[in-house]
Structure 1
Amino acid sequence: MKQSQVKHLPHEKHPHIVASKARVTAAQAARSDVRKQRRDNSTLSFYAKRDRGADVDPYNNALGVGVSIPFGTKTSSAPRLAEANAEVVVLIAEEEKREREHSLEISQAKLRVSHAQKTLVLAKQQNSLAQRRWKLSRRAFDLGESNLFELIRARERADIQARTIKRNQLELSLSQARLNHILGAMPL
């Protein structure tokens, strides 16, 4: 697929970048919730206790109810807030790392495309020279100025250069496809 037949997504709309930003947004929302909820939830607990001192002593049975009503102090919510802040910081760092990695992948893919294009141009020039050499060798053979070995060798070089062009065209197509994939390009 040629470069003109694809629609490139902007960098910030690449699926990896969008997912990473969504994780950061969710962590920031969770941190905001922790800031707004100054206290833990109240708890009500029931318990039953049955014990005795020695084997001959009777059982001592007890039932109990416990109520815990935390007050909204900063110290009670500090550990949860610190945990939420740490999660946000870690996710932001991961997002920035992913963006740097993505930019690096794009740069490397563009370099591969450029290298493949230059290699193809050189291969075409070499093919042109090999084809011209083949024609001259054939003409020299027809006129009796060259032997069969030189003719076969010129033909072999021309065939090798033709195969090299096809291989370089495939390498260029592959490098363009990889670049399109990294850019998040969508076929039209």
Structure 2
Amino acid sequence: MINRVVLVGRLTKNPELRYTPNGVAVTSFTIAVNRPFSNQQGERDADFIPVVVWRRQAENAANFLQKGSLAGVDGRIQTRNYENNEGRRVYVTEVVADSVQFLEPKGARHNDGGYMPNAGNSPAPANPTRGNYAPPNNQNSGVSQSQGAPSFDDPFAGDSKPIDISDDDLPF
């Protein structure tokens, strides 16, 4: 049997970090994933998928993700049910994440929800073992930034060689 889920989307609100009575960290959030097709009005719909993350990944997600953050989730679908306070049976389907990838630097979004420019508007790679991506501090990057936008230094600026990458080499 196979139960595997891979999602990329944006958080709909800030993650909620809680701890079990045994002290195990658990974070929950909802991720909005755009559908690959348009509806009859020509608009793209999205699915809003609840995600649960445990232990160290839960603490990292709560510390480094926020509403609007672009995240990749790798995990499995889990279904459960319980009886609520009114005596009704409630059924829940959620993704239990094995891994959460931070797909843009912390603070890379404006307060109005717009994505800030960064190397051709592609998300910056995240280091999942460290929990957050920090661009290198290179003051002589030679890249001009628009006024008011934070500086994202070019890690290849000191190297005068051209970068030859074909579209076939890109993972997206």
Shorter chain as denominator, the TM-score bin is: under 0.3
What TM-score results when the alignment is normalised by the length of structure 2?
A: 0.19
Higher helix share: 1
Higher relative contact order (CA 8 A, sep 6+): 1
What TM-score results when the alignment is normalised by the length of structure 1?
A: 0.18
Higher strand share: 2
| Structure with max Cα Rg | 1
